[in-house]
Amino acid sequence: MADNEAGRFGGKVALVTGASSGLGEAVARSLAAGGARVFGVGRDKERLEAVLTGPETAWLAADLANPDTCAEAVRACTEQFGGLDILVNAAGAHTMRHTAGVTDDEWQHDLAVNLSAPFFLSRAALPHLLQRRGCIVNVASTAGVEGQAYSAGYCAAKHGLIGLTRAMALEFDARGIRVNAVCPGGMTTRMVENFTFPEDPDYTLIMKTASARGLMDPAQVANVVTFLCSDDASAVHGAIYTVDNGKMSL
């Protein structure tokens, strides 16, 4: 369905995870401002209520580490709005730990939130997206294209998410849907502001991931995500966009 006079995303339905804060919130607001009907998923009910306030929005407070919840989110969205055109997998979790001290549960949680949830959401959404020739945008990270100290689980999951993006893009190349990923660097989000470092870290290793330009506003990255969701990106498929304030290119 082409962008029309109702707005850049008029007539389209978008499901955005992580919509209660950070990049997910910025994307949800941008899509809604462009005329999309937005279904947001996040863990913070009060924040979801504050972000998704318009008549063409709805939300589900849920933990996407549970595969059943991923299917429920897609079902609730399509029942509410009658279909699905856009899936943005923006939810994520990152806690820095010394690799030797990572517990089994911590490892599994890293994979569940950052890799398995996007897969389960995509799997549930595919029949709807194929019907309407929609798109998926996965939010990976610069940790998906480089190493980051004290982030073994997070890096593994985000590298995997890029692999998932490329695998789906190839599989559905001739089926009309588009699958892309965005790899943000550091942003001024609540997750970053509340970041805790492991005991006795080597800060020279941590600073290898920083940009000299500092942290980005989530809205700057949301602009790239919403571009990939739009008809302006109709020829962009299987792409991995790095948005990191120039850190990796300098």
Per-residue pLDDT of 151-208, as tens digits, reads 999 999 999 999 999 999 999 999 999 999 999 988 787 776 667 778 887 778 777 7
Strand order in the sheet with 57-61: 57-61, 37-42, 13-17, 86-89, 135-139, 178-184, 240-243
Q: Does position 214 have pLDDT exceeding 90, yes or no?
A: no
E strand segments, the chain: 13-17, 37-42, 57-61, 86-89, 135-139, 178-184, 240-243
What would the pLDDT profile of 95-112 be if each residue is shown by its tens digit? Answer: 999 999 999 999 999 999
How big is the chain by its Cα radius of gyration, in Å? 17
Q: What is the 3-state secondary structure (H, E, C) of 138-149?
A: EECCHHHCCCCC
pLDDT at 249: 54
Handedness of CA 78, 83, 89, 91 (dihedral sign): negative
For 104-128, what is the mean pLDDT?
A: 97
Q: What percent of the chain has pLDDT over 70?
A: 93
Q: Of 150, 154, 203, 241, which one is the catalytic site residue?
A: 154
Q: Which of 2-16, 123-137, 218-232 has the lowest mean pLDDT?
A: 2-16
Q: Token digits for 129? A: 């997206």
pLDDT at 247: 74
Q: Token digits for 69? A: 């919840």
C-alpha to C-alpha distance for 161 and 140, rounded to whole angstroms: 6
The answer to whether residue 154 is catalytic is yes
CA atoms within 13 A on the CB side of 22: 25
User: Is-contact 28 95, C-beta < 8 A?
Assistant: no
